[in-house]
């Protein structure tokens, strides 16, 4: 682990997180070493990257990408509907994009 490192935020479903915790527990018992969730996730990522052309891996990547695309599309539609229904609900900026200006008295 002497390589360069980077931090990432990983959002997982509760089910996936629970399954990874089970793997960590089983590994701790089997290896008689403390195995954290982070260690398990790191190993899973490294092993998955070794199988980057495996059909099941590619199918999972496709499913994840399509789910994200669908969520973003729905969010854009909902935002557009809100803006159409209430034109003043957006930012206080006018057409010029400069924002609200105060009058000096």
Residue 99 lies in a domain: no
Q: Does one domain contain both 16 and 45? A: yes
Residue 105 inside a domain? The answer is: no
- What is the chain's percent helix, strand, coil content, to nearest 5? 65, 0, 35
pLDDT digits (tens, 9 = 90+) for 9-66: 999 999 999 999 999 999 999 999 999 999 999 999 999 999 999 999 999 999 999 9
Whether residue 40 sits in one domain with residue 18? yes
pLDDT digits (tens, 9 = 90+) for 15-24: 999 999 999 9
Distances (CA, A) of 89 to 29, 77, 81: 56, 15, 11
The whole domain housing 25 covers: 12-50
The encoded tokens of residue 12 equal 């997982």
Q: What is the total count of domains within the chain?
A: 2
pTM: 0.64
Is residue 39 a part of any domain in this protein?
A: yes
**Sign of the alpha-carbon torsion through 11, 12, 18, 20:** negative
The answer to the question of residue 66 being in a domain is yes
Residues 43 and 73 placed together within one structural domain of the fold: no
Is residue 77 one of the residues assigned to a domain? yes
């Amino acid at each position: 682990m002497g390589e360069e490192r980077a931090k990432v935020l990983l959002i997982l479903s509760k089910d996936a997180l629970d399954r990874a915790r089970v793997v960590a527990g089983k590994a701790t018992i089997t290896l008689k070493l403390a195995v954290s969730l982070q260690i398990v996730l790191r190993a899973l990522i490294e092993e998955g990257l070794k199988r980057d052309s495996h059909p099941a891996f590619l199918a999972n990547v496709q499913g994840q990408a399509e789910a994200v695309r669908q969520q973003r599309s729905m969010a854009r539609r909902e935002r557009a509907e809100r803006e159409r229904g209430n034109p003043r609900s957006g930012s206080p900026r006018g057409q010029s994009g400069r924002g609200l200006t105060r009058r000096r008295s």
